[in-house]
Amino acid sequence: MKKLKFIDLFAGLGGFHLALADLGHKCVFASELNEELRELYEKNHQTKIQGDINEVDINSIPPHDILCAGFPCQPFSKAGAQLGLNDPNNGNLFYKIMEIIEQHEPEFVFLENVSNLKGHDEGNTWKVIHKELSKLYDVREEILSPHHFGIPQHRSRFYIVGRLKKKGGLDDFKFPEKEVNENISIHNIIIEDDTDFMTLRENTKNHLDVWQEFLNNLGVPLSGRALHFNLFVRSSQKGFPLQSLTQRTSTTNHKLAA
């Protein structure tokens, strides 16, 4: 396989880096705002990493074949205020990616965000992102989660892949097929005799026992899938009354139990 050069924007701990370096590709530039994450990144990947991407001179970024960016998700996350691309703090960072793309025209782009990005603002945010990328790239997108690939974690993320139209686009590209495996379990990855682990607090164990009893009493076969309902409180709603939250939760539980 041809060895490619990649850049890792909004690098975090370096998930993209790990995958691409494993395939033999080389990181030529990385940027991450958080200082502690930068220290970890340098230790883990032995790569110099720069800070705030807004402070970087785009011309100083070396030529590269792949641009990776897990751009900040708060503007689109269900747990945030959902201001999207208009978020004065982080919403503009997609346009920073576009500036770099327009300047360097990497052959491939790999972007990642929360799955809520697709439906945010009734699909308009994704429409804008898709339109911008499509000026140069053939674009595909898919929501994937580790539990689709045998890993016991539910973490749905929106993945966007693009290849320059002038290099042939994405004709041959397919996202990997999701596997349905009802038997994925946390026990498959826990090393039981490892001594370097933390045990659950007694209170937490009690909560789990009560939850399990509730599930048993439901009498519904759950085939290994977690029963849950989403509960989100916007960070902008600092004065949200706890009373109404607990009332709503107990009403929901009551309905479930009935």
Ligand X SMILES: C[S@@+](CC[C@H](N)C(=O)[O-])C[C@H]1O[C@@H](n2cnc3c(N)ncnc32)[C@H](O)[C@@H]1O
* Residues classed as catalytic: 73
Q: 212: exposed, middle or buried (C-beta count within 10 Å: 0-12, 13-18, 19+)?
A: exposed
Note the residue count of the chain: 258
User: Which among 12-20, 57-65, 119-127, 157-165 is the span making contact with ligand X, rule CB under 6 A?
Assistant: 12-20
Among 21, 28, 37, 83, binds ligand X (CB under 6 A): 37
Smallest separation (angstroms) from ligand X to the CB of 12: 2
Query: What distance in Å separates the CA atoms of residue 220 and residue 258, rounded to the nearest whole number?
Result: 13
What is the x/- site pattern for ligand X, positions 52-91, by CB under 6 A? xxx---------------x-xx----------------x-
Smallest gap from residue 13 Cβ to ligand X (A):
4
Number of amino acids touching ligand X (CB under 6 A): 18
Distance CA 205, CA 215 (A): 15
The candidate with the shortest Cα–Cα distance to 4, out of 110, 128, 89, 92, is: 110
| Residue 97 touching ligand X (CB under 6 A) | no
Question: What is the maximal distance between C-alpha atoms in the chain?
Answer: 63
The edge-to-edge listing of strands for the beta sheet with 26-31 is: 26-31, 5-9, 66-69, 108-114, 157-164, 137-144
Decide whether 7 or 53 has the Cβ nearer to ligand X: 53
- Residue closer to ligand X by CB (options 29, 137) is 29
DSSP at 50: B
Amino acid identity, residue 5?
A: K
Please pick, from the candidates 6, 7, 14, 129, the single residue that binds ligand X as defined by CB under 6 A: 14
Give 58 or 210: the residue with its C-beta nearer to ligand X.
Answer: 58
Please report, as residue ranges, which positions from 110 to 149 form the binding site for ligand X (by CB under 6 A). Answer: none
Q: How far apart are CA 119 and CA 82, in angstroms?
A: 11
Residue 233 gets which letter from DSSP?
A: -
Among 4, 12, 21, 138, binds ligand X (CB under 6 A): 12
Among 7, 31, 49, 84, binds ligand X (CB under 6 A): 31
User: Which residues, in sequence order, are bridge partners of residue 6?
Assistant: 27, 66
Q: Which residue is nearest to ligand X (CB)?
A: 12
Please report, as ranges, the residues that interact with ligand X according to CB under 6 A.
Answer: 10, 12-16, 31-34, 37, 52-54, 70, 72-73, 90
